Amino acid sequence: MSEEITIDTQELGEKIVRVLKTIYDPEIPVDIYELGLIYDVFVNEDSDVKILMTLTTPNCPVAETLPVEVEEKVKSLDELNDVEVEITFDPPWTQELMSEEAKLELGLL
C-alpha cells in the first residue's frame, strides 16, 4: 500500500510541475519553472501541497499577484487537498538557477 502512495505523490508532483510550466514571468518570456523560481514542491499523503518559490527580485512587479496565480492554478488540480505557496529570498534568485532551455531562450548561452 505504501508503494502506491509514493507513486501517487510523484505523479501529483509531475502534474503540479506541468501546471507551473504554464505560468510565465510577465517580463521574461520563460515559464517560472524553467526560470528557476520554483525551489521545491512538497506533496504529502493527504494531497496537501507546499510550493517554495522565489521572485527574480524582492520588489518584483508581480510580487503580489504571481504567488496567488501559482496557488490558484495548482489548486485547480482536482486531486489536491490544500495548496500553500511560500515565498523565500534565501537563496536569492540568480540567472544560474535558470534551466539551459531558459538560458538559450533568452540568448544567455
In a domain, 104, yes or no: no
Number of domains into which the chain is organized: 1
Instruction: List Cβ neighbours of 9 (8 Å cut-off, separation of 6 or more).
Output: 43, 44, 45
In a domain, 85, yes or no: yes
Reported as a single tens digit per residue, the pLDDT across 41-100 is 999 988 999 999 999 988 888 889 999 999 999 999 999 999 999 999 999 999 999 999
In a domain, 108, yes or no: no
In a domain, 36, yes or no: yes
CATH of the domain at 16: 3.30.300.130
In a domain, 63, yes or no: yes
DSSP tally for the chain: helices H, then strands E: 3, 3
In a domain, 80, yes or no: yes
Alpha-carbon distance 19 to 87, whole Å?
18
Domain of residue 51, residue span: 2-93
In a domain, 101, yes or no: no
Rounded to two decimals, the pTM is 0.88
